[in-house]
């Protein structure tokens, strides 16, 4: 616990140092010096994210497979998975509605009165192929080795689920050696993650310093209305998640939030929910969640329960429409939100991934993709919020499902004792 508190302290210190150093460089350095600083200092962030990505694929595969195999009967797997998907879809709809409500109430894009461009503007984002057919094709891996090498989380989850269910169907007599081996692998990867986390404060310093040095502190003020409204939506979604969590976990939900502060802070400062995955899994186990349930639910949540991304997509798409004075009917807004929800499933938990979803979706509703350029300058600060709430949402969902399954097993054991008596 002491080491975890020290890590949190160092992260906060280095984040503040990044803001101060970036502001100083932006103010006093030449343009060439600023570019050189930004280009070189981000090497630390790149190294940290690459180290984290190195851990993700083997950790997700080993923990998810072991979790499914240890759940035993396929009926248990189906029950837990079904509950998880119901919650994930419900939370996605809820977060979309929260974002839509705040952006409609505030109208942050009103007054910009931008002219709709006659020609496409290259945003530098790969937007092709985000159709339903492409999404479904992308979901199924043609090679697990390829999926792991590219860190395609959704494909790894799909393969791991098939592998785990197949292993569970063989029974404990046959799968016990493999379960034991993969369990060792997962613990090794968690240990490796602990070593990687020592680099986190430096990576956070580099990321913050680079953005402030390039854009200046003014970037925090230029879009104050948009950023303020967006974070109001994020906080409101957090409150709703905590309220639902309180209904199941009671006062323990506050202990859970306290224990998740480190992974949430890592996700916030690195703008990557993937970076917080190993630490989130570790803290959920320390909280008391069943390792089997946590190892099963959490990886699925990283593909289907990105509530922060849902808030962002609804908020940002309507902001762009407002900026270009594009009025959407109720039915058009409904279809747009459903499309965004579908397109976001399996989205990578890495920076700028939500921008790709937006760039692929909004042109179908006659909203200029060039509007994404309005967000690129501040996307780093928006990504921080959506990554953090993604981690919190997945943590609460996993804890609730673990609690629910624990109560169900306790009731079943009590009933069995009663029958035997």
Give Cα 214 to chain centroid, integer Å: 26
Q: How much is the average pLDDT of 50-63? A: 78
Beta-carbon count within 10 A of 64 CB:
25
In 345-378, which residue ranges form alpha helices assigned H by DSSP? 353-361, 373-376
Give the range among 28-37, 199-208, 242-251 with minimum mean pLDDT: 199-208
HSE at residue 237, side-chain half, CA atoms within 13 A, is 38
Residue 3 — very low, low, confident or very high, per pLDDT cuts 50/70/90? low
Give the range among 18-32, 201-215, 334-348, 371-385 with minimum mean pLDDT: 334-348
Looking at residue 182, its pLDDT comes to: 87
Residue 330 is inside which H or E element, if any?
helix 330-344
pLDDT digits (tens, 9 = 90+) for 140-181: 888 888 888 877 766 787 888 888 888 878 877 777 888 889
Q: Which residues contact residue 40 at a Cβ distance below 8 angstroms, ignoring those fewer than 6 apart?
A: none
Q: What is the CATH number of the domain that holds 351?
A: 1.10.3860.10
pLDDT digits (tens, 9 = 90+) for 252-261: 999 999 999 8
Report yes or no: 397 and 87 within 8 Å, Cβ to Cβ: yes
- Alpha-carbon distance of 384 to 264, in angstroms, equals 10
- Alpha-carbon distance of 54 to 206, in angstroms, equals 20
- Alpha-carbon distance of 18 to 416, in angstroms, equals 59
- Alpha-carbon distance of 5 to 95, in angstroms, equals 31
Looking at residue 416, its pLDDT comes to: 44
Residue 73: domain span: 2-420
Looking at residue 24, its pLDDT comes to: 92
* pLDDT over 60 at 1, yes or no: no
**Contacts by residues 195-199 (CB-CB < 8 Å, ≥ 24 positions apart):** 196/48, 196/51, 196/52, 196/55, 197/7, 197/266, 197/279, 199/44, 199/47, 199/48, 199/51
Looking at residue 232, its pLDDT comes to: 92
Q: How many domains does the chain have?
A: 1
Looking at residue 25, its pLDDT comes to: 93
* pLDDT over 70 at 195, yes or no: yes
* pLDDT over 80 at 117, yes or no: no
What integer best gives the mean pLDDT of the chain?
A: 77
């Amino acid at each position: 616990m002491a080491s975890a508190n020290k890590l949190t302290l160092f992260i906060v210190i280095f984040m503040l140092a990044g803001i101060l150093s970036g502001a100083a460089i932006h103010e006093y350095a030449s343009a060439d010096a600023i570019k050189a600083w930004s280009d070189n200092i981000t090497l630390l962030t790149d190294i940290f994210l690459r180290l984290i990505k190195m851990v993700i694929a083997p950790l997700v595969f080993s923990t998810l497979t072991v979790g499914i195999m240890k759940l035993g009967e396929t009926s248990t797997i189906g029950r837990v998975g079904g509950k998880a998907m119901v919650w994930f879809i419900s939370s996605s709809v809820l977060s979309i509605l929260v974002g839509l409500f705040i952006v409609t109430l505030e109208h942050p894009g009103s007054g910009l009165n931008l002219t709709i461009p006659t020609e496409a503007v290259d945003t530098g984002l790969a937007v092709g192929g985000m159709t339903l057919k492409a999404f479904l094709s992308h979901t199924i891996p043609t090679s697990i080795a390829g999926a792991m090498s590219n860190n395609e989380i959704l494909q790894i989850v799909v393969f791991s689920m098939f592998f785990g269910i197949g292993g569970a169907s063989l029974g404990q007599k046959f799968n016990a050696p493999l379960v034991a081996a993969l369990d060792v692998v997962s613990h090794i990867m968690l240990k490796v993650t602990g070593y990687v986390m020592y680099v986190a404060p430096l990576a956070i310093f580099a990321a913050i310093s680079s953005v402030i040095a390039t854009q200046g502190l003014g970037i925090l003020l230029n879009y104050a209305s948009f950023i303020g409204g967006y974070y109001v939506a994020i906080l409101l979604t957090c409150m709703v998640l905590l309220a639902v969590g309180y209904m199941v976990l009671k006062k323990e939900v506050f202990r859970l939030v306290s224990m998740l502060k480190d992974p949430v802070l890592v996700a916030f400062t690195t703008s990557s929910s993937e970076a917080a995955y190993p630490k989130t899994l570790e803290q959920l186990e320390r909280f008391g969640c069943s390792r089997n349930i946590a190892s099963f639910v959490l990886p699925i949540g990283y593909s289907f329960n990105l509530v922060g991304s849902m808030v962002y997509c609804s908020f940002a798409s309507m902001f762009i429409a407002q900026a270009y004075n594009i009025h959407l009917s109720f039915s058009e807004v409904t279809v747009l939100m459903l499309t965004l929800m579908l397109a976001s499933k399996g989205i990578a938990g890495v920076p700028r991934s939500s921008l790709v979803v937006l760039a692929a979706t909004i042109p179908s509703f006659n909203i200029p993709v060039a509007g994404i350029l309005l967000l690129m300058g501040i996307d780093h600060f928006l990504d921080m919020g959506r990554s953090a709430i993604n981690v919190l949402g997945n943590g609460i969902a996993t804890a609730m499902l673990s609690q629910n399954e624990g109560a169900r097993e306790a009731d079943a054991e009590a009933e069995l004792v009663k029958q035997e008596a």
